[in-house]
Amino acid sequence: MGFTHEDRLVIPVPLYHCFGMVMGNLGCVTHGATMIYPDEGFDPGKVLKAVHEQKATALYGVPTMFIAELDHPDFPSTDLSSLRTGIMAGSICPAEIMKQVISKMNMKGVQIAYGMTETSPVSTQTGANDSIEKRVSTVGRTQPHLENKIVDPGNGGILPRGEIGELCTRGYSVMLKYWNNDKATAEAIDEAGWMHTGDLATMDEEGYIQIVGRIKDMVIRGGENVYPKEIEEFLYAHPAISEVQVTGVPDKKYGEELIAWVKLNSSAGEVTGEELREYCKGKITHFKIPRYFKFVDEFPMTVTGKIQKFKMREISIQELGLDQEP
C-alpha cells in the first residue's frame, strides 16, 4: 500500500483477529504509520467520523463494514477526501462494493487481501498497480516466498488454469499445527505441507486468483453445481439492494433450492421477491434464480463481521417448514 510515517490508518477490525493485530498494528509499527481506533467495537458512524476528523489516508474493514459505512446517514456529509488506500478482506469481497469504495470513498488504491489466521494471515493480495478489473474481481496473486495451487477436491490433482477447485497454499506462513489437535491438523495440512483452505477458486494465466466460494457453501440443485457468490454478485448490481447473501435449503424435487437474504438500501422503497425474480429472468441461468427471498435488517454474523451461512440455512429451513418434510 506504500505506507510511510505520514500515513494514518483507521482500524475498526478487532485486535484479537489477525486483520487488526497483524495487518493493522504490526503493519503500522513497521512503517511508522499512525494507528487510529474509532471505538471499542465497530460503529460505522464513528468510523466515518474518525476518517473525517483525523484526516485518515487508509481504512481497513471486512465487506459488511464498508457496506454499513456506505449506507450510513452521515456518509453524504463526511469528508473522505484524505483517503487514498486500504484493505477489504476477511470474507468474499463483492465487486460492486469494491467499485463503490473506489468511487465514493476516494480509496483509489484499495486492495483485496486473502488468507487465513492459519496462514499468518495473507497468502494473496492485489497490488496498487493492478488494473481496476483485477482489483475488483480477484484476490490478487501469490505473495513472495509462498506457493498456491488449485486442486480437484476429490482426488487432489492440480487443475488446469481457469477451472474451479480447492485453493491450497504452502510456505513459511503456514502454521505448524492446531494446538493439541492432531486430527484437525492432519485434515488441514497434508504430508507435503499444503494447507487446504476449504475455499473454491480459479487461477488465470497471469496467476490472479478468484475466490468462488466455500466448498461447504456450494449448492447442488438438480445435479448442477451452483456457487452462491456468482448470484450475490449479480444481485448486488440491483439499485435497491445494500447487501445480499445466498445459501441452499433442502428441496424434495431438486435436492436443494436457493434462498437469497436481502437487505435493502435505507433509501429504497418497497421491493418484493417476485420483482427480484423478474429482475433475474433472462440475465442469469434459470436454475441460478433463487426460489425464495427473505428481506432482513441484519445477518447472523461472527464478532469479526463474517456472515454465518450455516445459521442462515438453519433459520430458513425452520421458517419455511422444510424440516417438517418427510
Residues 6+ apart with CB under 8 A from 166: 150, 151, 152, 153, 196, 197, 198, 199, 200, 201, 215
d(C-alpha 84, C-alpha 110), whole Å? 7
What are the angstrom distances between the C-alpha of 297 and each of 68, 129, 173, 271? 11, 37, 38, 14
First to last CA, the chain: 55
- Note down the domain range covering 196: 146-213
Whether residues 174 and 223 fall in one domain: no
Low-confidence ranges of the chain (pLDDT < 70): 323-326
Give the per-residue pLDDT at 324. 52
Phi, psi of 228 (to 5 degrees): -50, -35
pLDDT score, position 326: 41
Record the cell numbers describing residue 82, joined without a space: 484524505
Give 28: exposed, middle or buried? Use CB within 10 Å, 0-12, 13-18, 19+: buried
In whole angstroms, what is the distance from residue 33 CA to residue 54 CA?
13
Domain assignment of residue 188, yes or no: yes
169 within domain boundaries: yes
Answer yes or no: do 203 and 233 share one domain. Answer: no
Q: 294: Cβ–Cβ under 8 A, 6 or more apart, which residues?
A: 259, 260, 261, 262, 316, 319
The amino acid that residue 39 corresponds to is D
Distance in angstroms (rounded) separating the CA atoms of residues 271 and 59: 32
Please tell me whether the overall predicted TM-score, pTM, comes out greater than 0.85 for this model. yes
Specify whether the CB–CB gap between 89 and 170 falls below 8 A.
no
CB 137 within 8 A of CB 161: no
- Whether 263 maps to a domain, the answer reads yes
C-alpha to C-alpha distance for 203 and 223, rounded to whole angstroms:
25
Contact 211, 139 (CB under 8 A): yes
CATH for 46: 3.40.50.980
With cell 509462498, the residue in question is: 146
pLDDT score at 128 = 83
Same domain for 200 and 263?
A: no
CATH number of the domain residue 197 falls in = 2.30.38.10
The candidate with the shortest Cα–Cα distance to 60, out of 72, 73, 50, is 50
Residue 91 confidence (pLDDT): 87
- Shared domain check, 305 and 234: yes
Cβ atoms within 10 A of the Cβ of 186, count?
Answer: 12
Do 105 and 14 belong to one domain? yes
Which of helix, strand or coil describes residue 125? strand
